Structures are given as structure tokens and as C-alpha cells.
Amino acid sequence: MKVELIPVIEIGYHNQGIESPDFSPYWEYPDDWQTYSDKCYSKAGFTDKFIPYSKGSGFYRPKDITDSNLIKVVEDHIGTFKDGETEENDLCPLFGGYVLKIENQDVLFPQCCSDLGDWIYWHSIVKDKKSVYYNGHPAPIVEFDSNSVTFYCKDDDEDFVPTTNERIVVDLKALEIAYDRLIVELKEFATRISGLSNKFSFKVVNDLIENILIFRNLELDIKTLEE
């Protein structure tokens, strides 16, 4: 089984006064929704064109985002901190999360309110065989057996977006390999953010900016999980 965990950043900017498409969901009209997003990005001040992970979704793989666009994403994400409205210790990671991909098919996307800090969720599943708090909602119910993990994606109050199978079975060994590769990609992204830090208009003092934007989890501490 080929399994991948793909990091993605959610980039919205749908508050630019541009009329949205009259039809939905986005995955049935990806070109229309991507065109709408591109117009919003341009009006918001982005200078480079975004390469979507999945058209119309608002998700973008970090390595596909130009430096210029990434700097603006970070600056806007940290906006309330720069304005003195948010304490540094309360800053959250970049919004988005991780796409679960099996046999070249995207089977589970990050859900509402998830962020890059959810790497800890996947760490706990593959390293400890247990499910912990997931920032996004709705969240799958997770069950384990000796060689696999099953995600039950059904919620009575919310639909999973995009629509996904209610039952997703993943080989644990393949998922662990995918997780290890994910961490390599996240560390490369962290190095990139560190290299851009002198171009940011703000400074943090209690932590590294790359740790805040990628590895911080306001609900869980990796050291606590490993005890």
C-alpha cells in the first residue's frame, strides 16, 4: 500500500468583496472556485500566482508557495501579534494540516480549524497507536488492530469536506513511512522559514518562528505524550 501524508496550508482571503461562484461544492466546480480564489489573492496583494494542491480547495503545499507569497501569508497570520492583540505564547501554527493520500488518491483532507500543529495527531497514531486531540472538526474516530488503523469518518452534526469514505483502512507500517517522510518535509519547510525570518516585520523572543508556525500545538505537548 502506497501512503502519503501531504502538508498543506489553507489560504483563504475570501473577504475581498469579490462575488463568489453561485454553485458549490468546490470539488465539483474546481476551476470556477480556483478562479475566484485567484482573484481574491490578487486583490489582497499577493504578487505571485498560487499553485493549488487541489483546485478550488484553498490548500497549498508549502514547497509550492513562492517566498514572496509565503512572507505575506506569515505576516497576515501573525497580524494580531504585530498589533499587540495576541501574546506570543498564544500564537497558533499556520492553518491547514495534512492530506492522507492512498494509492495516489486523496482520501482525507484537513477539516475546519485544523492547522500544521496536527502533526502530533499523526505522530501519536503511528508511533504510539493511540488517537489524541485533533484540532479540526469533524474528527475521525480511530481504531487500531495489529497491522492497520481504521478511520471512521462519520459525524451526525457535520459533514467531512470534501466528501470521503466513511471507513478508511490504512496499513500502519506504510503510514509510519509516510509520517517519517512528512517530518523530513516539515523540517525542510522550517529551515526555509528560518531563512526568511530576517524579512519579516516582527520578531519573536520566546520561541523560534518556524516552531510556532509549524510544530507548535496549543493543545498537546509532544514531551507529555512520550512520558
- DSSP letter for each residue of the chain: --EEEEEEEE-----SSPPPPSS--GGGSHHHHHHHHHHHHHHHT--S----SSTTS-EE-GGGS-HHHHHHHHHHHTHHHHTTSS-GGG--PPBEEEEEEETTEEEE---BT-BGGGHHHHHIIIIIS-----SSBS--EEEE-SSEEEEE---SS---SS---SEEEEEHHHHHHHHHHHHHHHHHHHHHHHHHGGGSS---SSS-HHIIIII--SS--HHHHH-
Separation of alpha carbons 149 and 129, rounded Å: 8
- For residues 161 and 25, the answer to whether their CB atoms sit within 8 Å is yes
CA angle 112, 118, 123 (to 5 degrees): 145
The pLDDT assigned to 220 comes to 73
pTM > 0.85: yes or no: yes
Nearest to 30 by CA among 61, 58, 71, 8: 58
- For residues 53 and 98, the answer to whether their CB atoms sit within 8 Å is no
Quick one: average pLDDT of 54-73?
98
Residue 148 has pLDDT above 70, yes or no: yes
The pLDDT assigned to 224 comes to 55
Quick one: average pLDDT of 39-46?
98
| Residue in the structure block whose three cell numbers are 492512498 | 102
| Residue in the structure block whose three cell numbers are 510556532 | 212
The pLDDT assigned to 135 comes to 74
- Partnered with residue 99 across adjacent β-strands are 6
Quick: pLDDT tens for 88-99. Answer: 999 999 999 999
Q: Can you read off the three cell numbers belonging to residue 55? A: 483546485
Residue 131 has pLDDT above 90, yes or no: no
One-letter amino acid of 124? S
Quick one: average pLDDT of 158-185?
97
Residue 108 has pLDDT above 70, yes or no: yes
The pLDDT assigned to 223 comes to 60
The pLDDT assigned to 217 comes to 87
